Amino acid sequence: MHKLTILLSSLILMLAFVMGGCEKNPFKPGADNDSHPIVWQYKYDQHQTLSDVVPAMDENGNIFFSIQNGERQKDVYVFANDKDGNALWDKQYSSTNYVDLSRVMYIDKKIVFVVSVYDDLSYFQETIYCVNAVDGTEIWHYTPDFKTEGLIEAMAVTSEYMIVAAKWGGDYPDIDELHYLNLSSGALVKSIDFGDNDVKLISIVGNNAYLGVRSVDAAGFYAPQLVKMELESNHIYWTYTPEYEGEVNYVFKQRSIPLDANNRGYLIVRSQSGVDNMYINIINDDGTLDETITLQPGNFSNPLNDLLIDKDNNFYTVIEGYSKLSPNNSQLWEFQSGTTVPNSRFHTGCAIGNNGIVYHAEDGGILNVNSIGEIDWAKYDETNFTKPGYPLLTEEGNIVVVGDLFVSCVKGDGARIQDAPWPRVYQNNGNTSSR
């Protein structure tokens, strides 16, 4: 097993310069750029203090997003705006439990999202809603039969199915872990039992599903795996389990399985005790190991752990700071913004434009854009950019971010989302975890 070690160290001189140059916010890594004004803003008037907001955009530039209000019993709000920021529709759902998947998915004029309820007996129940993207009217909803069913771990959408990872149904103790719902009707088509293992992540490429599966080793410790499965027949082509060190639990640290143009899968795991390392296992499409990258040392307090992969198969780690690596895993540059993510549930905050620039949103009222390892330009607003989430690149080349209370559109560079392997679909920014 080959290993490439990257030391993520703080850029002390850069941070010292930043702290000395900005009186209002010592963490601003660059000057506000007046050539990128706010094009429009819409005040949706709800605080989203504990949401990992990943908005969706349809082919006409309409924007859809879901937030939870941490101040009002965690109710779920779903909003739709047109490309000019005008309100199209909004919906409110009573929710008394946090939803880990605080995102909406768009596909074929449909919007899909999740609401979770926690009752007096400490049981939880999640419901998947599918509504019409045009006016918000409900098409279908699906709720498991029993309140004691497990929470949804991941979802992915194809033109035919909504595929859900959750411990639902089956004959106890043989609980099913993967479920296919008909996207048109919401009817349960089939469920699959993975034995004692739990499905935690789903990514789809063509007719294949790549699953992040939490297995348990012979000593009883968690050992994350990558599984390649044929989508229709559910035939498993292969299962890859990294060589884990020591008797400790390892956990996934990503929202989906990134897949490059050669269908290499990137599995990010972290040890829960002992030496606090993070590992990126790059697995070939035949199930063999290409490379293991060890990130150390690390307190890894930043939960923003996903990878970006560009059209040239370069990939970007977003762990503590940024590193850009070539397809053969050599480091091209490293960059640390010196800022923080909005909250502990936030995992996704950047996109690659077709101009090669990484567009990045972090906490502190910052929209941060960096290129070739340096800040290209940055846009700040002390109030209305608070806690911005995942940025969308519009067809006009502008940038849309959902923050606390506001959704904002900022004049961009004319760049659209890059036709790159991952996150590519987010299918026209649809958040489908498939391509």
Token code pair at residue 9: 């160290």
| Distance between start and end Cα atoms, the chain | 30
Q: What is the pLDDT of residue 237?
A: 98
Token code pair at residue 247: 């008797």
Judge contact between 284 and 235, C-beta under 8 A: no
The rounded mean pLDDT for the chain is: 78
Q: What is the pLDDT of residue 14?
A: 30
% of the chain beyond a pLDDT of 90: 23
Quick: pLDDT tens for 409-428.
Answer: 989 999 888 887 776 544 45
292's CB contacts (< 8 A; 6+ apart) are 1, 2, 3, 4, 242, 279, 280, 281, 282
Rounded Cα gap, residues 235 and 242, in angstroms: 21
> From residue 401, how far is each of 46, 67, 188, 264, 398 by CA, in Å?
15, 13, 34, 30, 10
The string of DSSP letters for 361-430 reads EETTTEEEEEETTEEEEEEE-TTTTSS--S-EE-TTS-EEEE-SSEEEEE---SPPBP--SBT--HHHH-
Rounded Cα gap, residues 1 and 243, in angstroms: 9
Judge contact between 307 and 316, C-beta under 8 A: yes
Rounded Cα gap, residues 110 and 58, in angstroms: 10
SS (H, E, C) 280-332: EEEECCCCCEEEEEEEECCCCCCCCCCEEECCCCCEEEEECEEEEECCCCCEE
Q: Is the peptide bond before 297 cis (omega within 30 degrees of 0)?
A: yes
Low-confidence residues in the chain, pLDDT < 70: 1-33, 49-51, 70-73, 96-102, 118-123, 146-149, 170-174, 274-275, 296-306, 318-321, 337-349, 362-368, 380-387, 423-435
Rounded Cα gap, residues 301 and 288, in angstroms: 31
Judge contact between 127 and 115, C-beta under 8 A: yes
Q: What is the pLDDT of residue 78?
A: 92
Amino acid identity for residue 171 in this structure: D
Overall CATH class of domain 3-429? mainly beta
Amino acid identity for residue 129 in this structure: Y
Q: What is the pLDDT of residue 5?
A: 39
Domain positions in the chain are 3-429
Judge contact between 212 and 204, C-beta under 8 A: no
The region that residue 390 occupies, defined by phi over 0 for left and psi between -120 and 50 for alpha, beta otherwise, is beta
Tell the residue number behind the tokens 């884990």, with chain if given. 244
Q: What is the pLDDT of residue 364?
A: 57
251's CB contacts (< 8 A; 6+ apart) are 214, 222, 224, 269, 270, 272
> Sign of torsion, CA 147 153 158 159?
positive
Closest CA to 406 of 425, 424, 388: 388
Q: What is the pLDDT of residue 283?
A: 95
Q: What is the pLDDT of residue 13?
A: 27
